[in-house]
Homo-oligomer: A and B are copies of this chain.
Amino acid sequence: MSSNNHQGILVTASKVHVPFKAELLQAINDPRFQKRAPHLVGILATKKEDARSYAERACEQIGINFELRLVGQAREGMDGAGVGIGVEEAILEANEDDDVDGIMVYYPIYGDRQDQYLQSVVSPVKDVEGLNHQFLFNLYHNIRFISPLTLRPVPGAIETGDQPPEGTVKSILPCTPLAIVKVLEHVGVYNSLIPYGDRARGKVITVINRSEVVGRPLAALLANDGARVFSVDITGIVEFSKRPSKQSKYNPHHVINPTDLSLEEVLGRSDVVISAVPSQSYKVPTAQLKDGCVCVNVAGEKNFEADVRERASIYVPSVGVMTIAMLQRNLLRLCKYQDMVKEATQAKSA
């Protein structure tokens, strides 16, 4: 049984979720939400039965009014319908409906750039997934605090920590990358002794996947927090690291540079390895991992070999529960931002 002594520990997202669930339950106790429960609309355009019940159940537990709207292939008797038919109209309808507080769309629909077009069709004030262009732009440029009216930084607002300066609110971050950051905070990769904004400093992190939904925003978030990040995809490896950019007037944020290191070399020096490859066959070779590293599997499929804990000191097999929690947190925040927008509009017209 000696090999078991070397086995890293297993950390589930449900464990990480506990304080976030408590925080959500407390937040929803606000009179604002007691009067009318937050209303989240999920738009399903494809035949993905499993996705339905999960988000619905998670929202019920918290007290969020979740409504699934079916379009295209997701509708009964519409098996033969084209992919994505009606989804843009459904988003626009929800955008314009004052009774809807948040919108999530089940991607992939087209699986390509048309999905990205749809992400920006969702009204930012209802964008619980944080995938609208403006929110991604803020993330890439390390713009953490924004005006709830313009979604852009407020000139002259002075940042002193993790709380928004006067007149600003937190920008909305995409759920999955944010969920991963929360998991890394929980397992101690983020060091809370270091000042806010640099808490991943000193850590080398490999992120396998560079999509605009998970991998690139995640690599940027981690590098903006001070980590040295190797971003891996089929086109190669690039390095994200935080350095003051001479060409930008924004906050210090990551720069991207090419690297000559191979995957084996980056894995060998990585304190953390995060994999989000949507493939049954892709596996990160355990033998190439640095001993004692932290491994996080983000894909629906298992991207790590069965013996990953022989090398990893901590292994997180899934982050799904935390992704939904971050989506719920985004929803409650956006409800408050919407109130601020309404107040500002009323004050203007008064």
Contact = CB atoms under 8 A, between A and B. Distances in A.
Interface in A247-279: 247-249, 256-258
- Judged by DSSP, the binding face of A is mixed
Interface stretch (A25-33, A85-93, A177-185, A292-300): A85-93
Nearest to A110: B235
Contacts of A136: 117
A257 B82 contact: yes
B212 A93 contact: no
Contacts of A113: 112-113, 116, 211-212
A22 to B, nearest CB: 36
Interface residues of A, number: 38
A279 B258 CA distance: 29
Contacts of A133: 117, 120, 133
A68 B338 CA distance: 43
Contact of A137 (B84, B116, B121): B121
Contacts of A247: 86, 89-90, 92-93
Contacts of A236: 82
Given A83-B235, A117-B212, 12 more contacts: A80-B258, A82-B238, A82-B257, A82-B258, A85-B256, A86-B247, A88-B140, A92-B248, A96-B249, A116-B212, A117-B136, A121-B137
8 tightest A-B CB contacts, nearest first: A82-B258, A89-B247, A113-B212, A120-B133, A82-B238, A116-B116, A113-B116, A113-B113
